[in-house]
Structure 1
């Protein structure tokens, strides 16, 4: 059985943060103050929790929801998404979005080059090239 892992992004502070799950409730930490926020607090919506796909890229780096993958030709950045119970790699073409099973993209030898929070420009630059 694989370990289910997550990571947490604080959209307000623009950095990685901590989270914990206690009695079925997710709590997020403000790293500046050390305060934990649960769903009862409006600051709770400032955090994004992303699940690990359970797969690694060609450099053995774990792949998480929100990561940006490159297939090596610098033309198509793939965004990792989790939707309808499965992970997919998605890229935007000239007229529409294309979606692939994440395992197919990993088998092609893609690598994690960033994520949608710290490196959003990676998605824009390659699409416009």
Structure 2
């Protein structure tokens, strides 16, 4: 059975709350849908074992090239998690998952941020080769330090943004 969990983006505080916090305060968060955006867990992990949520920005590789996408739910005729905007441009990249021996499902993508805290990543990675993206992630993202307070988490140093 797939694990159901959510993160929540607080539009007022510009803060992302982790699944434990959302579970504890679920009723309050859901009842204030103008303030919070719920982001569902896809049931998949990335190539590094990190949970993939709706709104995450991922780098995907196919046939020797890489692209960066936002993870979205597609409700039309065949509902599924898709990598956006690939679906719009008829490239049809979606998240499907492969079952590991430990029972978890993963996909060969890498989560590098999300559309709420790191929207600039979608523009910064446009047109880069796989090698250039790997170098960018190693240079710009590898030393990110995350802080977990009051059930939320954010990148240390982003307080003024």
Q: 5+ unaligned residues in a row in structure 1: which ranges?
A: 29-36
62-71 or 83-92, larger mean C-alpha shift: 83-92
Q: How far did 1:75 drift?
A: 5.3
Q: Which residue of 2 aligns with 1:8?
A: 8
C-alpha displacement of 1:27: 2.1
User: Which residue, 83, 90, 93 being the options, matches 1:89?
Assistant: 83
Q: TM-score, normalised by structure 2?
A: 0.57
1:18-37 to structure 2, matched below 5 A, reads 18-20=21-23, 26-28=27-29
The aligned length equals 113
Residue 69 of structure 1 is aligned with which of 58, 72, 75? 58
Cα deviation, 1:50-75, whole Å, max 9, x if unaligned, reads 11000010000010000011136895
CA contact 1:75–1:127 (8 Å) conserved in 2:
no
Shift in alpha-carbon separation, 1:101–1:71, aligned structure 2, 3 A:
closer
- The answer to whether 1:113 aligns with 2:112 is yes
Which of residues 40, 45, 48 is equivalent to 2:34? 45
- Tell me, yes or no, if structure 1 residue 100 matches structure 2 residue 89: no
In 2, are the aligned partners of 1:91 and 1:99 still within 8 Å (CA)?
no
Q: Per-residue deviation at 1:114?
A: 0.3
SS of the residue 1:103 aligns to: coil
Unaligned runs of 5+ in 2: 98-105, 129-161
TM score, norm. by length of structure 1: 0.69
Q: Which protein has the bigger strand share? A: 1
Secondary structure at the aligned position of 2:93 is classed as: strand
How far apart, CA to CA, are the structure 2 residues paired with 1:126 and 1:74? 13
